[in-house]
Amino acid sequence: MDNLDQKKMVAPKINELICKLKEVQLGLQSVLSILFQKMENLDSEPELLNKLQLFKKDVESQSRNLELEVNILHEQLKTIKELLYSDTKKTPVEY
């Protein structure tokens, strides 16, 4: 085989390798894009966690306020029942 024949045999192999390298490059670009998206999500995650913690504190506070309000209403109801039943001297019905 002379030098020209060797070049003819190597040329298709080089073209195949170039195609495969381009496919690998596209795959790596895709992976890089996904990694950047995940990094952005991770960067925004602390903000999300902070918002959720604030929301949780707000909900807990509202829950405590509602419990206090319910207790006050129970006491008021009890007082009203006592006043109503004191006139008729009947035993109040427990709530």
Contacts of 95 (CB under 8 A, 6+ apart): 74, 77, 78, 81
Higher pLDDT, 1 or 44: 44
Q: What would the mean pLDDT of 5-29 be, rounded to a whole number?
A: 84
Q: Residue range 62-74: average pLDDT? A: 95
At 65 the pLDDT is 95
